[in-house]
Amino acid sequence: MRQWLIATILGGAGAVAGCMGTEDITSTSAEERGPRFITIGADAIATAQDALAARDPGATLTPIAVKNGIALLEYDAQDFVALSELMHERHHRCSGFIRHGSFDDGQDALAAPERPVAALTYSIDNPLTVNVLMSELRSSAILSMIEDLSAFKNRFYRSTTGAQASDFIATRWRALAGNRTDVTVEQVTHPDFTQKSVIMTIRGTTLPNEIVVLGAHMDSIAAGGSSSTAPGADDDASGIATLTEVVHAMMVKGYKPQRTVQIMGYAAEEVGLVGSQLIVDDYKAKGKNVVGVMQLDMTNFHNSDRDIWLMTDFTNPGQNTFVESLIDRYTGATHGRDSCGYGCSDHASWHEAGIPASMPFETRFDDFNPEIHTPGDTLEVSDNNTDHAVKFARLGAAFAGELAKGTVDLSKELFREDFETAGWTNTGLWHRATSSRCGPPGFSSPTHAMYFGSDTTCNFDTGARVSGTMTSPTITGITAASTLRFRFYRDVQKTEISSNDVVKVSVIENGNRTVIFSRTSKTASQPRWLMSDPVSLAAFAGKSIQLRFEFDSITQNNNQFTGWMIDDVVVTR
């Protein structure tokens, strides 16, 4: 049984001491005071008492009722920031409590039993849409968005910069939406604070009244409240940036879901899941039918033996199993299960309302980023790259593509190859690899890629010089606007002495060979999946061509590197 408490706070005003610092919290509490109603894990009652006692040692919490390990408390708003920080310090939960709009709402939450959810019939049968969306995801763009968001002094829910961050996200999402009439972006005003939640809506084509939600929170927090330095690069600029890149892929590829898809950037998560709770309350009042929710709260710190961890508490088991299947089918990531406690992120607001929600997390919960909620939560903690976040972007694209279903616009594509079937002519070590362990993952989109190397040794060392080519079928219809893009994973020797380990892409036309892309050992490799820059094919307009990918080690030495993998080759019209 979960325990529920209704507790009365008795105590006066005063400065808050402890992890947030007295002078900054005093200025913040002047903006928001008075009793509010929250639910919190019963294991954190003593924490709530201590946060309150830091301001008023005489204050007490009086239990009235218990149920299922959750407590309903009346709590002064001026103590929320101190409570949030103490919850993080002791329980490793971001927020760790849920604010309710009224006592009646709190009682409703108290009275509501575990509601069985009428689960959808989950299916994974829309690979073309998912693969096309995934082919457009860019690690560099996720990195840039995290940099932009963490450049704000803080994104605290009551600060000027917190409000500006909301405007920045809304402006970015509107720019991505462009002129699409089926896409809207709105900012949701909340009472008592200036930061607004942001909601992008992509209207469904055949099931517009069924809604699929992908969310992350925009606010950040650190000691000092409104005046703090809280870059929040991981918590949770990484989640917002990951979703923004999913939005980019959806817009560039003309994604039209069957079910309505909503991308949400929640305000004020860190102080009681406030933005998400208010949105959920509004949706309940309006009878909106949300059929599934995914929360991306922190996606870019890799510190566990597996990549993606599904939180199993206060989430939906059936949908979690579906998400694990998506991870296996589409991302190439490893995964595990863990728990994070009550109210650890915005998915809890939806779960409490009986809506299927899932929370994939960047690490095992006890391995979380030690710099969150401090000025040290910067990209440096993740080695200034977003390799880990890309896995979550793939999962977000898969979640939308398989739960909301729908199609993408392929009219601008002349040729696409994801190597899920054979069809190219290969020489040397080039072969079609199935879920190769040598990447990892050994593909950009599931579950195959072309690989110059050995799946057994994960290198191209045969004791001799090695070379080979892979050549496409004939491609017709090239125009002056046509471009080539492809995904590649390149891991070779780095030396300034000689040009070894040469990789090239050539166009074969009427027996002539023209090199349009090349790298040698003098160009440092980056052993992760990258998207090439667009390569113009204008010189071949009106002609029939073949594409040829070439690898030549030049020597028999220093060939103990992974080699070259190619996936998602796209030629546009």
Q: Would you name the residues annotated as active-site residues?
A: 217, 235, 269-270, 297, 373
Helices 238-252 & 160-177, crossing angle to 10 degrees?
Answer: 20
Token look-up 């977003």 returns 386
Q: Is the dihedral of CA 221, 224, 227, 233 positive or negative?
A: negative
Place of tokens 């008592």: 192
Q: How far apart are CA 26 and CA 54, in angstroms?
A: 13
> How many other CB atoms sit within 10 Å of the CB of residue 452?
28
Q: Which two tokens stand for residue 336?
A: 């595990």
Please report the beta strands in 61-179, taking only residues with DSSP state E, as ranges in sequence order.
Answer: 70-76, 97-100
Amino acid (one-letter) located at 572: T
The answer to whether 483 and 169 are in contact (CB under 8 A) is no
Placement of tokens 């166009």 in the chain: 507
Among 311, 313, 338, 310, smallest CA distance to 324 is for 310
Between vectors from CA 474 to CA 473 and to CA 480, what angle results, nearest 5°?
130
User: Are the C-beta atoms of 415 and 409 separated by less than 8 Å?
Assistant: no
C-alpha to C-alpha distance for 44 and 40, rounded to whole angstroms: 7
Question: How far apart (Å, rounded) are the C-alpha atoms in residues 157 and 163?
Answer: 7
How distant, in Å, are the alpha carbons of 212, 260, 318, 354 from that of 288? 11, 11, 21, 13
Where is 87: in which H helix or E strand?
A: helix 80-91
Amino acid identity of residue 316, one-letter, is N
Single-letter code of the amino acid located at 261: V
The one-letter amino acid code at 420 reads: E
**Gyration radius (Cα) of the chain, Å:** 26
Residue 83 to residues 7, 90, 345, Cα–Cα distance (Å): 15, 10, 15
Reading the block at residue 430, the tokens are 């080039």
CA 228, CA 213: separation in Å to the nearest integer?
31
